[in-house]
């Protein structure tokens, strides 16, 4: 069980406002990318987010462009868990591959407000918030394995390191 | 036991298994994987993974299209890193600055064929459904993994059937159909589904119009989209293809979670208002809204027929606002030059830019100032999409964009078509 401060957003938030397209080929370092997280959605986010904070969003979070900075920008800014009523499919995959836990939990974003604290119990698949308990579905074993490895890159690093050894 | 959808058949084939059902997670080996200006970033992830060589360099395509020719030194450096990588890894299908937009170029080169599977590091990879292929977008890290291993896990999605009947009226296009679908069902209407088109309208759509439907389904949340390939597609591919293929069709008794039907014969031109592609109204409800810029191009609407449509509207008129026209490929630009379309557009006051994505995602070549409105033939109008959150974007067909350019305000193209 861990406690997290929430940043709460609505439905159909797209990756153009999470990380503007004009930066995608020029900003490279985690610090540069984190500085523009959610820039056109919430101008207070990048300056005030703290490690361990979570995003709590509505339906179809992360729709639009496939750009991976949609996940890495909040991740580099300190967000390791993103909760949404539903995710766009590429965004969901990008979360797994970056080692960010995507939790599907419909309705939570209408019950909590930015700044509220919620409790997340990953082992038992539960969220305690607004005086209620929510359960969230487990990931399939093959997908969980990527997350457990810390993301797709660390998982493949192990695979290729193994292949290069005699 | 019901029959199989297209996507169940296509992903079973790509994974080398006899059959698959929605919900199955499969390791698929795509027939082609592609990326664009993001390839330098993908290269850095690939090198971090520790792989030495791309597993199947003959099945990799890279197109420089998102910011071409390079607008800044940083963009130029990015392109230079990609060219170096092409040589180092013997990547077979590389398309330089000016050749065109990835989805258009790969279609013209017939690098993907009916029944095959293509994964791209671009969200509009649903585009390839127009050929009857499985096309889906992936992130940069996944593309690096695909380069390294040649395979990737995919969950077989549930399917939705979109049945289109009737014939479109003059001045109404597949773009208007796609906007109506978004307007009716919302940007999450196809979330995580295979959107499979059916109905007698499809065979009436030209080769240039067909890609619009699966392309725009990216805005619908779709994993992939599919149109049943017919003789028009097979004939198009015959002179271009370098390998055999087997088209795939859904079984008549396949299970669709959702059915949506539209009679297109009464459809009027449609327009998406700022700031979301499903904020769609009939064009007649938006007439007169002032615009300072008009843009025709992109993977959605930058083909020859789109430029022809603009020329048909603009012939004998002058634009009242800036009109930026960017052909989707060098082949489109060449044909439009030979047929006199480019001359008509220039005479009307348009400016023509290098084939590529242009200002669509705010990189260059037509970024609006704050409080300037753009009417665009693209597929996205999210806040900030074209570079600044204060610049509203309307989405419509090239006919509507051209008519609006003449008026400096949203206008009905049918008034200009004889």
Give per-10-residue mean pLDDT for chain A (166 aa).
97 94 89 96 97 97 93 97 95 96 96 97 94 91 92 94 61
Answer whether B49 sits within 8 Å of A153, measured CB to CB: yes
Answer whether A94 sits within 8 Å of B380, measured CB to CB: no
pLDDT digits (tens, 9 = 90+) for B89-101: 999 999 999 999 9
Contact A41, A157 (CB under 8 A): no
**Residue tagged 């490690």 (tokens):** A51
Answer whether B123 sits within 8 Å of A24, measured CB to CB: no
pLDDT of residue B2: 82
- C-alpha closest to that of B25 among B155, B169, B175, B170: B155
Q: Please give the residue of chain A at the shortest CA–CA distance from B44.
A: A28
pLDDT of residue B135: 98
Domain ranges of chain A: 2-137
What distance in Å separates residue B1's CA from the closest CA in chain A? 25
Cβ partners under 8 Å of residue B308, min gap 6: B336, B339, B341
pLDDT of residue A69: 95
Q: Does residue B345 have a pLDDT over 70?
A: yes
Range(s) within chain B of domains with CATH label 3.30.499.10: 6-262, 270-415
What distance in Å separates residue A154's CA from the closest CA in chain B? 7
Answer whether B141 sits within 8 Å of A63, measured CB to CB: no
Q: Which chain A residues are within 8 Å of B362, Cβ to Cβ?
A: 20-22
pLDDT of residue A163: 62
A2-137 carries CATH number 3.30.70.890:
no
Q: State the maximum Cα–Cα separation within chain A, in Å, rounded to a whole number.
A: 56
Mean pLDDT, residues B33-39 taken together: 98
What distance in Å separates residue A147's CA from the closest CA in chain B? 13
pLDDT of residue B238: 97
Q: Using N-to-C axis directions, what is the helix angle for B398-407 and B304-314, rounded to 10°?
A: 30
Mean pLDDT over all residues of chain B? 97
CATH of B6-262, one of 3.20.20.70, 3.30.499.10, 3.40.50.300, 3.40.50.720: 3.30.499.10
Q: Does residue B359 have a pLDDT over 90?
A: yes
- C-alpha closest to that of B410 among B277, B289, B275: B289
Strand partners, B352: B325
pLDDT digits (tens, 9 = 90+) for B13-23: 999 999 999 98
Quick one: tokens of A23?
A: 């930066």
pLDDT of residue A165: 47
A/B interface, count of CB pairs below 8 Å: 132
Answer whether A160 sits within 8 Å of B363, measured CB to CB: no
Q: Does residue B349 have a pLDDT over 60?
A: yes
Among candidates B121, B141, B188 on the partner chain, residue whose Cβ is nearest the Cβ of A12: B188
Among candidates B139, B144, B276 on the partner chain, residue whose Cβ is nearest the Cβ of A66: B139
Answer whether A59 sits within 8 Å of B188, measured CB to CB: yes
Homologous superfamily of domain range B270-415:
Aconitase, domain 3 (3.30.499.10)
ipTM of the complex: 0.83
Q: Using alpha carbons, list the distances in angstroms from residue B244 to A11, A54, A55, B116.
A: 44, 50, 48, 11
Q: Does residue B234 have a pLDDT over 70?
A: yes
CA A78, A81, A86: angle at the middle one, nearest 5? 135
Among candidates B49, B188, B385 on the partner chain, residue whose Cβ is nearest the Cβ of A86: B188
pLDDT digits (tens, 9 = 90+) for B182-194: 999 999 999 999 9
Q: Which chain B residues are within 8 Å of A17, Cβ to Cβ?
A: 382-384, 389
Residues 73-132 of A with CB under 8 A from B: 86, 88-90, 93-94, 97-98
pLDDT of residue B1: 62
Among candidates B139, B363, B384 on the partner chain, residue whose Cβ is nearest the Cβ of A94: B139
pTM for this structure?
Answer: 0.93
**Residue tagged 């489109």 (tokens):** B332
B104 confidence band (pLDDT: 50, 70, 90): very high
Pairing of strands B351-352, B322-325: parallel
């Amino acid at each position: 069980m861990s406690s997290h401060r929430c940043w709460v957003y609505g439905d159909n938030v797209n990756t153009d406002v999470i990380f503007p397209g004009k930066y995608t080929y020029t900003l490279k370092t985690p610090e540069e990318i984190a500085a523009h997280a959610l820039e056109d959605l919430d101008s207070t986010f990048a300056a005030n987010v703290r490690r361990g904070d979570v995003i709590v969003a509505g339906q179809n979070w992360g729709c639009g462009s496939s750009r991976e900075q949609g996940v890495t920008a909040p991740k580099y800014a300190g967000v390791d868990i993103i909760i949404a009523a539903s995710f766009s499919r590429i965004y969901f995959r990008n979360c797994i591959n970056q080692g960010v836990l995507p939790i599907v939990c419909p309705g939570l974003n209408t019950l909590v407000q930015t700044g509220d604290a919620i409790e997340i119990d990953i082992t038992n698949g539960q969220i305690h918030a607004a005086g209620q308990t929510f359960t969230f579905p487990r990931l399939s074993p093959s997908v969980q394995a990527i997350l457990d490895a810390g993301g797709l890159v660390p998982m493949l690093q192990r695979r290729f390191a193994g292949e290069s050894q005699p | 036991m019901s029959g199989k959808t297209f996507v169940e058949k296509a992903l079973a084939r790509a994974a080398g298994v006899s059959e698959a059902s929605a919900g199955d997670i499969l390791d698929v080996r795509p027939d082609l994987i592609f990326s664009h200006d993001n390839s330098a970033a993908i290269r850095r992830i690939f090198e971090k993974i520790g792989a030495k060589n791309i597993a199947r360099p003959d099945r990799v395509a890279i197109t420089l299209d998102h910011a071409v020719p390079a607008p800044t030194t940083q963009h130029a450096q990015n392109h230079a890193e990609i060219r170096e990588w092409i040589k180092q890894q013997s990547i077979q299908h590389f398309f330089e600055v000016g050749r065109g937009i990835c989805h258009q170029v790969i279609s013209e080169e017939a690098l993907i064929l009916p029944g095959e599977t293509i994964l791209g590091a671009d969200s509009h990879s649903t585009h390839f459904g127009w050929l009857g292929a499985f096309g889906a977008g992936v992130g940069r890290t996944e593309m690096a993994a695909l380069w390294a291993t040649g395979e990737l896990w995919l969950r077989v999605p549930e399917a939705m059937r979109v049945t289109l009947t009737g014939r479109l009226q003059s001045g109404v296009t597949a773009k208007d159909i796609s906007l109506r679908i978004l307007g009716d069902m919302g940007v999450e209407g196809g979330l995580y589904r295979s959107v499979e088109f059916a109905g007698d309208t499809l065979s009436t759509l030209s080769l240039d119009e067909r890609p619009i439907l699966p392309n725009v389904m990216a805005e619908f949340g779709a994993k992939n989209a599919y149109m049943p390939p017919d003789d028009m597609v097979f004939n198009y591919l015959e002179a271009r293809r370098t390998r055999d293929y087997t088209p795939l069709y859904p079984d008549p008794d396949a299970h669709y979670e959702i059915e949506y039907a539209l009679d297109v014969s009464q459809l009027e031109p449609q327009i998406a208002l700022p700031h979301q592609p499903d904020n769609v109204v009939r064009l007649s409800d938006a007439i007169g809204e002032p615009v300072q810029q008009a843009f025709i191009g992109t993977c959605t609407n930058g083909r020859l027929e789109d430029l022809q449509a603009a020329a048909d509207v603009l012939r004998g008129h002058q634009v009242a606002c800036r009109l930026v026209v960017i052909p989707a490929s060098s082949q489109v630009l060449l044909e439009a030059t030979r047929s006199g379309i480019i001359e008509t557009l220039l005479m009307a006051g348009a400016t023509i830019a290098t084939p590529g994505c242009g200002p669509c995602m705010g990189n260059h070549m037509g970024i609006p100032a704050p409080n300037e409105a753009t009417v665009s033939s693209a597929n996205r109008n999210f806040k900030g999409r074209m570079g600044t959150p204060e610049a509203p974007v309307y989405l419509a067909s090239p006919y509507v964009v051209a008519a609006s350019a003449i008026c400096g305000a949203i206008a009905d193209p049918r008034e200009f078509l004889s």
